[in-house]
Amino acid sequence: MKKILVVDDDKNICELLDIYLKSEGYETVFAYDGSEAVTTAKKENPDLIILDVMMPVINGWEACKLLRNFTSVPIIMLTALDTLENKIQGLNIGADDYIVKPFEPTEVLARINAHLRREEVKTPKEEEKNDSQEIEIDNLKINLDTYEVTLDGKQITDLKPKEIQLLYFFMTNKNQVFSREQLLDKVWGYEYFGGTRTVDVHIKSVREKLASSNNKWEIKTIWNVGYKFEVK
C-alpha cells in the first residue's frame, strides 16, 4: 500500500484529502507545519508528499528544500499562490507538480496516480540501454540508483531529482532531438498536468549548475523544435 504524506495547517483540507486518498487505497499520514513535515517524512518514508506553501514554523518552500536533502519522492505543492513566478519557484526548489487552491480532490488523485505510476515504470528503452542506471560521457557521470552526478571528478550536489532524471534521459538518448511535449512524456509522465514551460525552467537550471569549459557535449536548443544532448 502506497503511503501519502499530506502537509497542510488547514485540518479541514487534510480530512477531505484523507477521505479521497483512503477511497483509492492509499495510506495517509499528516503534518501541520513545515518542520513537522520534515520530521514525519524521515520517520514514515512516504511514497509521495502533498505540501502546502503557506504554513507556520517553516513554510512550504523551505520545507521542500529540506525534504530534497534526503528524499527524491514526488512532491506536489498545494497553494493559493497561482502566479507563474510562484510555480517556477516551486519547480526550481525540487517540487514535481503544483496544484492551486481551491482544487478538486479528483484532480489531486489523478496527479498522485500519474506521479506514482511514473515512479514505478521505466521505459523498455531505458532498461535496455543501462540496467545499472549509470552512464558516463566524457567528464560527466550520472548514477540514477544513487542520484549522484559527477562533473570533472567533483560531485554536483545542488541538482534536484527531476533535473537529474532529465539529464539522465538526455544522456541515454544522446544526439536525439526531443520536443518539450516528448520530454514531459518521457521524464514527467504522459499524464503530467503542467505546461511545457516546466521543461525550459529545468533545462536552464541544469545548464547553470553544470557550467563547464568542456566542449565535447552540450544541451542544445533546436529552435522551433526542442532540445538535444549533443555529443561532438
pLDDT band at 46 (very low <50, low <70, confident <90, very high): very high
Reported as a single tens digit per residue, the pLDDT across 128-186 is: 444 568 899 999 999 988 889 999 889 998 888 888 999 999 999 999 999 988 888 88
Q: pLDDT category, 93, cuts 50, 70, 90?
A: confident
Beta bridge mates, 140: 137, 151
CATH code linked to domain 124-231: 1.10.10.10
Q: Which residues contact 48 (CB under 8 A, 6 or more apart)?
A: 2, 3, 4, 5, 73, 74, 75, 76, 112, 115, 116
Q: What 8-state DSSP symbol labels residue 85?
A: H
Q: What gap in Å lies between CA 212 and CA 194, rounded to an integer?
A: 30
Residue 126 has pLDDT above 60, yes or no: no
Q: What's the mean pLDDT in 56-72?
A: 89
- Going by CATH, does the domain composed of 3-120 fall within 3.40.50.300? no
Q: What is the distance between the alpha carbons of residues 46 and 161, in angstroms, rounded to a whole number? A: 16
The answer, yes or no, to whether residue 82 has pLDDT greater than 70, is no
User: What are the residue ranges spanned by the domains of the chain?
Assistant: 3-120, 124-231
Cα separation, 97 vs 91, in Å, equals 7
Mean pLDDT, all residues of the chain: 85
- Average pLDDT, stretch 109-122? 79
Q: pLDDT value at position 224?
A: 87
Contacts of 51 (CB under 8 A, 6+ apart): 7, 37, 60, 63, 64, 67, 75, 76, 77, 78, 95
Map grid coordinates 497542510 to a residue: 8
Q: Once rounded to an integer, what is the mean pLDDT over residues 198-205?
A: 88
Q: What is the DSSP letter of 131?
A: T
